[in-house]
Amino acid sequence: MSILEIKDLHATVETPEGTKEILKGVNLTIRSGETHAIMGPNGSGKSTLAYAIAGHPKYEITSGSVQLDGEDLLEMSVDERARAGLFLAMQYPVEVPGVSVSNFLRTAKTAVDGQAPALRTWVKDVKGAMDNLRMDPAFAERNVNEGFSGGEKKRHEILQMELLKPAIAILDETDSGLDVDALRIVSEGVNRAKENTEVGIMLITHYTRILNYITPDFVHVFVGGRVAEEGGPELAERLENEGYDRYLTTAN
């Protein structure tokens, strides 16, 4: 049983125009097995929240706290956070030339587990996970994200989540830009991970469509760098009909 607790989180970024505050007091708690949809308009700070939790060097935390099972995540380096059980599926996964997917996955698994996976079962696990995500075996020999289509990149992110088995996963717009088939495949992967590992999920999305495939336990409307409203799945339906306009007019 894991718990991620974000309390009054403020974060800034350096821009050419000066320091800009993007997160303005985020409160959010995610437990194992729960799925929290974070929905908000572009530019509201959703990716910033994801990056700040994962420890991206561009964002400075100016106040607040983030704890995973009582441990202060903000004191940890990026890789320590991952080894503590945090995973971030990125909105824009990064190319790493010359590093094959299979080498990358094995290196990451070894790092997260603190020991190399048993070869036989690992090969089987990777193959099985790739099959489930309808990824061609040849994919393993390609360089990480190099020349991947949008859908391939997102499947590759979910593949990592399924293999690394984090306690808490943040999925940043994993659904954006996917066609319906790819969306279904990716959603199945998320649901499999939920079932198999009880992972707690922060599902960041701009669109309600993915909620037809992944049922959230909680919905948080994210506007202007903080949670503007919270509710159950019914809140998503309301957003579906009304959009974000109602929040934008009241947000400052």
Ligand X SMILES: Nc1ncnc2c1ncn2[C@@H]1O[C@H](COP(=O)(O)OP(=O)(O)O)[C@@H](O)[C@H]1O
Measured from the CB atom, the residue of 13 and 76 that comes closer to Mg ion is: 13
Measured from the CB atom, the residue of 106 and 153 that comes closer to ligand X is: 153
Whether residue 38 contacts residue 203, with contact meaning beta carbons closer than 8 Å, is answered with: yes
Angstrom distances, CA of residue 36 to CA of 178, 200, 205, 219, 233: 20, 8, 10, 6, 10
Q: Applying CB under 5 A, which part among 8-16, 44-52, 103-111, 143-151 lies near Mg ion?
A: 44-52
Measured from the CB atom, the residue of 40 and 189 that comes closer to ligand X is: 40
107 binds another protein (CB under 8 A): yes
**Euclidean distance between CA atoms 172 and 156, whole angstroms:** 14
Residue 52 tokens, joined: 């700040």
Residue 89, amino acid: A
Strands 35-39 and 200-205: parallel
**Which of 9, 39, 49, 112 is close enough to bind another protein by CB under 8 A?**
112
47 binds Mg ion (CB under 5 A): yes
Q: Which of 133, 234, 145, 126 is nearest to 191 (CA)?
A: 133
Region 172-231 residues binding another protein, contact defined as CB under 8 A = none
Region 6-25 residues binding another protein, contact defined as CB under 8 A = none
Q: How far is the CB of 150 from Mg ion (least distance, A)?
A: 14
48 binds Mg ion (CB under 5 A): no
Which residues contribute to the site for another protein (CB under 8 A)?
A: 54-57, 77-79, 81-83, 87-88, 90, 93-99, 103-104, 107-108, 111-112, 143, 160, 164
